[in-house]
Amino acid sequence: MPIVEVQNLCKEYLGSKALENVNFKVEDGEVFAVIGPNGAGKTTLLRILDFLDKPTSGKIYSNGVAIDYSEKALLALRRRIAIVFQQTVLFNTSVFKNVAYGLKIRGENKRNIRKKVMEVLQLVRLQDFERKNALDLSGGEAQRVALAQALIIEPELLLLDEPTANLDPKNVSIIEEVLSWINKQQKTTLIMTTHNMTQAQNLANKVALLFNGKIKKIGPAKEIFLAQSRYLADFARIENIFIGISKVTRDGISLIEIGNEVQIDAAFQKSGKVTVYVRPEDIILSKTPIASSARNVFKGRIVEMIDIGPVMKLKVNAGKEFVVQVTRRSFNEMQLNIDSEVFLVFKASAVQAV
């Protein structure tokens, strides 16, 4: 029996559809990844699954039972579910007290609280941070505290909204190891949203491709990713997907020919035909050349601009078309427009193999 089943789920805000006829099942002990670009509806979906928002229509079942939205029923359900948001919100107190809070409000005794807090801090590799103020931590450390806060209550279902977005490789690696461990050793069910297709490929049993509030494809992770261009390129608007021929160089990186005499350097080592992905947020845009250690530097011209409120998405032709995301402030300061000449810079580590 699925631990979560969603049937014909819809969510509207002021007449705009954030989710439309979403259907899926998540089995007990499974890792279910939802991939999609910004604005696809991923966070809305998680908020509904955590009962922070109610759907406009459709049904959600938990262990075969339709959700009862009464306060008493939701309280019981929330005791079995934890969520980690992309933007951490921590208390202005010690790491220990932040992590202990969930057990304290459940009435656990002090001895059990200390034992469990120290165990979970060791799991997320913050065992020496218990006395530090949580607000003094780096972004990656703070995200690990947020993960510890969720794990301390030993949830049956853990929801994660872009759990490693904008984190450095060390923290990404630690968080991914923790998620893999709790799934395999504690049989915790995970539902996660992510931009990172490599992460989904490594962690998920099942993947759903979400775009404009609709699931475009759903299936076993191997099926989705082995299909490469057929599903992912058609899913499109997950921007910057390129297919090319890769060769491993003497200095241990991959040089990928993606067509039109454009080559991309990648930090992984793969030979032969590959599909790669670069997040728009990982590309730095400038009107002048940038002094950087990044291996990928391209000169191009803006051919399309998309206004999405606080940010602008720019399509740049640099032999191949790249989509870049910049803040509106940066866009205005650089006085960009169609046909503006720009430089694109991104690291080899930003290139993900699909």
pLDDT band at residue 166, thresholds of 50, 70 and 90? confident
Domain(s) of CATH 2.40.50.100: residues in the chain: 239-353
Domain at 2-232, CATH class: alpha beta
Question: pTM for the full model?
Answer: 0.72
The per-residue pLDDT for 222 is 80
Domain(s) of CATH 3.40.50.300: residues in the chain: 2-232
The per-residue pLDDT for 236 is 46
pLDDT band at residue 15, thresholds of 50, 70 and 90? confident
What is the DSSP code (8-state) at residue 202? H
Please give the structure tokens belonging to residue 319.
């032999």
Between CA 252 and CA 230 the distance in angstroms is 29
CATH code for 239-353?
A: 2.40.50.100
Q: For residues 22 and 45, is the Cβ–Cβ distance under 8 A? A: yes
Residue 187 exposed, middle or buried by CB count within 10 Å (0-12, 13-18, 19+): exposed
Convert the pLDDT of each residue in 252-310 to its tens digit.
899 999 988 899 999 999 899 888 888 888 899 999 888 777 889 999 999 988 776 67
Convert the pLDDT of each residue in 310-336 to its tens digit.
778 899 999 999 999 888 888 889 999
